[in-house]
Amino acid sequence: MNILQSIEKIFFANGRYWGGLNSSLYNSGSIWAMNTGIESADLNMVWNEKPLTAGNLKDIQYIKNHFRKARLPFWWWVFPGASSLNTGNMLKAEGLSLVLSVPSMFANLTSRAGESTDNNLQIRQIKNKEDLSLWEEVSFAGFDFPRETRKQYHRFVGTFNLKSDSPQKFFLAFVNRQPVATSLLFMHENAGGIYFVSTLSSERKKGIGLTLTLATMSFAKKAGAAFVTLQSSPDGLRVYKQAGFKEYCKADVYSLTSQ
């Protein structure tokens, strides 16, 4: 198994799935783009699955103009398998600059014994619209999204599929019956990708994020996943390492300078 290719494959599959949910998916050759309709750059994703060439110039310009017209910021993700000197130069020539190098992490589930236990924390898999509404509220607050994007976020979450055959599984953590943290598991083939791990600001640094991540990993293993991947924020890096993840590469993220 090529771990780097596995990390990229899960990210790409998840992006295509999200783009398909709200009919925002764009594809030209090895370039893909999707947008959630939310004015948050990290939720509007563009990626190239192979290094860019001169023939991709019109695609870059089209995508750039599309997001500008929609008044949505976006991030262009470049993973190691699609990186090259020419790729970076082409993006920079079109007004995109490198803003982040995001740790991409991998955890093997085949040797994991199980999840940690916290008697004060209840974790519930979301299976109905009422609980999804709670998940939406907590994740929105946990990620500190701008208040003016609340309706946009609601529209995007409203596209989520809660049926048993959906590749997305949602989890909500409760303390004293109050919802405090969220996670999302995306299943693809024999693997899972973990996203939307968020905790309310008042409940951080209590081990909740770690326990919820471990529970999400345990669910993935029981569902048949051999490994899980994720992209980590600086704040989450320590927690994910505690959960058993290892950093295997960084994804370079580009953003329009004038956004």
Task: Kindly provide the b/e burial profile for residues 98-121, where b requires at least 16 CB atoms within 10 angstroms of the residue's own CB.
Answer: ebbebbbbbbebeebeebeebeeb
Question: Using 50, 70 and 90 to split pLDDT, how confident is the model at 235?
Answer: confident
Q: Which CATH architecture has domain 121-249?
A: 3-Layer(aba) Sandwich (3.40)
pLDDT of residue 140: 97
Q: What percent of the chain has pLDDT over 90?
A: 93
User: What predicted TM-score, i.e. pTM, was given to this entire model?
Assistant: 0.94
Query: Residue 112 corresponds to which amino acid?
Result: R
Region 176-187: what's the mean pLDDT?
96
Query: Quick check: 188 and 10 in contact, CB under 8 A?
Result: yes
CATH node for 3-103+250-256? 3.40.630
- Spans of all domains in the chain: 3-103+250-256, 121-249
- Give a three-class secondary structure readout of 163-196: CCCCCEEEEEEEECCEEEEEEEEEEECCEEEEEE
pLDDT at 18 over 60: yes
Give the mean pLDDT of 32-54: 96
Burial of 207 from C-beta contacts in 10 A (0-12 / 13-18 / 19+): middle
Mean pLDDT computed over every residue of the chain:
94
Question: Over the stretch 121-173, which tens digit does the pLDDT of each residue have?
Answer: 999 999 999 999 999 999 999 999 999 999 999 999 999 999 999 999 999 99
pLDDT category at 79 given cuts 50, 70, 90 is very high
